[in-house]
A = this chain, B = another copy of it.
Amino acid sequence: MAKKSIEILDTTLRDGSQAATISFTLRDKIKIALLLDELGVDYIEGGWPGSNPKDYEFFREIKNYHLKHSKIAAFGSTRRKDLRPENDPSLSSILEADVKVAVLFGKTWTLHVKEILRTTLEDNLSIIADSIQFLRDHGLEVIFDAEHFYQGFKEDPDYAIRVVNTAGEAGARVVALADTNGGTLPHEVLEITRRVAENTRVKLGVHMHNDSGTAVANSLMGVVGGARHVQGTINGIGERTGNADLIQIIPSLVLKMGYRVLKNEDGLKKLKQVSSTLYELAGLHPNPFQPYVGDNAFTHKAGVHADAVMKNTRAYEHIDPSLLGNQRKVVISELSGTSNLVNYLEKLGIKVEKKEEKLKKALKAIKEMEARGYSFDLAPESAMLVAFKEMGIYEKFFDVQYWKVINENGLALAVVKVNSRVEAAEGTGPVHAVDVALRRCLSKDFPEIERVKLTDYRVVLPGEVKNTESVVRVTIEFNDGERSWRTEGVSTSVIEASIMALVDGLDYYLQLNKKLKPLVAKE
């Protein structure tokens, strides 16, 4: 028997862009749409043409691309109470967007009908029916979003169900029950959705907000209650506390509830990449604790967990991380036993015994650094350098004798002396200038460092007092085309901390290539 399927409507470009601090350019929007099509969502809600002129450009521009999986939908409200559909600006703007699918929202909650819309309950039903009929007459597929459905149902269940059936009879293909203020709890969603499903023949969807911290759960409970269409956004971005996070919903629907979801059969494996690209475009730091795709989602820190996971991955992992393009990590920290450190060294090809004395010394040295403000969870390769030194497998390839920075309006200049060689360089900022000068010094002896690129740079202010006087921790990620590594520096100066991380990053690369690779090969 074929598995039942659930439709996905992504509203990252519309509801997601209502998040505080988020603003997408036209180019961002196109990039996101192509990513969503690649993922294989059924519908991409591209924007609200009536409210935002930038959204028109999106609908025009996206026509130049061939989408493999997804249909583009335009969002808008039902007609105004005093206008005929053909004269209504919101409905016209949907037609102007020239799409095949419209997502139309209307009122369900009697409070909103009376106090926000200021009309009668019967008139609201006519508004909904008229507006849907008008778009159907113009050849559009219509998805109706019943705004504030759950609040509405609690106050007047009969009216809420009449709204659903009115929309269905007027030709809406799906009616999505929206928890617009996010106040509904999962057991209520389950019960209410079930009752609606028993009283209607139209296909039901859900549209959840996260104000109670349960948007993901509410979406799943909606499905348990009978919904077969789920709306949400990538990473749950959206107004206030955000929308339901599709990145977290889709794996549970597929891997745990057995539904067929996403038109691209390999879509699931792309979730981590889609999530991180979206964070980049939204200008947000990725959430390392995000379920399924976060960098820490399969990270084991406590010694006992790390130990058990090595014995049997099912012991502390609910699913296989590679199914979502994620991977297992074991971190080094003050809670970690030697298992974690051994795990790291073994990945580098260095075999050590768990009870070896120098391993314990290395762990102790790492823990002491952490007590001084380092956090090696973020930058394990800085911890590795400490371990190499304690274990006697470190070789000093270069020595930074001094660095000087001049940073004046428009000019960032660095002078660096390394291994008795002095080099100067300008940069777009002081850290960049030091980076260039440092590489100039080193590239004569170590031309291979030209392959090393900086792929991420973060400034974190740990501790209690956050002002310009406090200590900062800078983490830098490097990549040489084959692997990534991260190092860090801690100082009261952003520049100094950056340079410490920079030096560690290049040093680690040289240790790996000049010292360890030959060492491992010899054994």
Surface stretch bound by B, among A288-296, A345-353, A442-450: A288-296
- Shortest Cβ distance from residue A383 to the other chain B in the assembled complex, whole angstroms: 13
Name the contact of A435 in the complex, choosing from B316, B318, B468, B498 (C-beta under 8 A).
Answer: B468
Q: Assuming the A-B contacts A240-B298, A317-B181, are A493 and B428 also in contact, with contact meaning beta carbons closer than 8 angstroms in the complex?
A: yes
Q: Tell me which residues across on chain B come within 8 A of A183, comparing CB atoms.
A: 256, 318-319
Which residues of A (425-465) have their CB < 8 Å from a CB of B? 427-432, 435, 453-464
The answer to whether A220 touches B187 (Cβ under 8 A) is yes
Could you say how many copies of this chain the assembly holds? 2
Q: Assuming the A-B contacts A212-B318, A311-B115, are A495 and B20 also in contact, with contact meaning beta carbons closer than 8 angstroms in the complex?
A: no
- Shortest Cβ distance from residue A332 to the other chain B in the assembled complex, whole angstroms: 10
Q: Tell me which residues across on chain B come within 8 A of A456, comparing CB atoms.
A: 466-467
The answer to whether A240 touches B296 (Cβ under 8 A) is yes
- Decide if A492 is an interface residue (CB 8 Å cutoff): yes
**Nearest CB in chain B to that of A298: its residue:** B240
- Decide if A273 is an interface residue (CB 8 Å cutoff): no
- Shortest Cβ distance from residue A396 to the other chain B in the assembled complex, whole angstroms: 20
Q: Tell me which residues across on chain B come within 8 A of A318, comparing CB atoms.
A: 181-183, 211-212
Complexed CA–CA distance, A334 and B370 (Å): 43
Q: Tell me which residues across on chain B come within 8 A of A457, comparing CB atoms.
A: 461, 466-468
**Nearest CB in chain B to that of A307: its residue:** B116
The answer to whether A289 touches B187 (Cβ under 8 A) is no
Complexed CA–CA distance, A252 and B186 (Å): 11
Complexed CA–CA distance, A297 and B291 (Å): 21
Q: Assuming the A-B contacts A116-B311, A256-B212, are A21 and B288 also in contact, with contact meaning beta carbons closer than 8 angstroms in the complex?
A: yes
Complexed CA–CA distance, A292 and B237 (Å): 16
Q: Tell me which residues across on chain B come within 8 A of A323, comparing CB atoms.
A: none
Residues of A in contact with B (beta carbons under 8 Å apart): 17-21, 23, 25, 51-52, 54, 111-112, 115-116, 180-183, 185-187, 190, 210-214, 216-218, 220-221, 224, 236-237, 239-242, 245, 248-249, 252, 256-257, 280-281, 283, 285, 287-292, 294, 296-305, 308, 311-312, 314-319, 331, 333-335, 370-371, 375, 377-378, 402-409, 412, 427-432, 435, 453-464, 466-469, 473, 492-496, 498
Q: Provide 15 A-B residue pairs closer than 8 Å at the C-beta atoms, listed in order of the A residue.
A: A18-B301, A23-B370, A52-B335, A115-B315, A181-B316, A183-B319, A212-B291, A213-B290, A216-B217, A236-B289, A242-B289, A280-B464, A404-B409, A428-B493, A458-B466
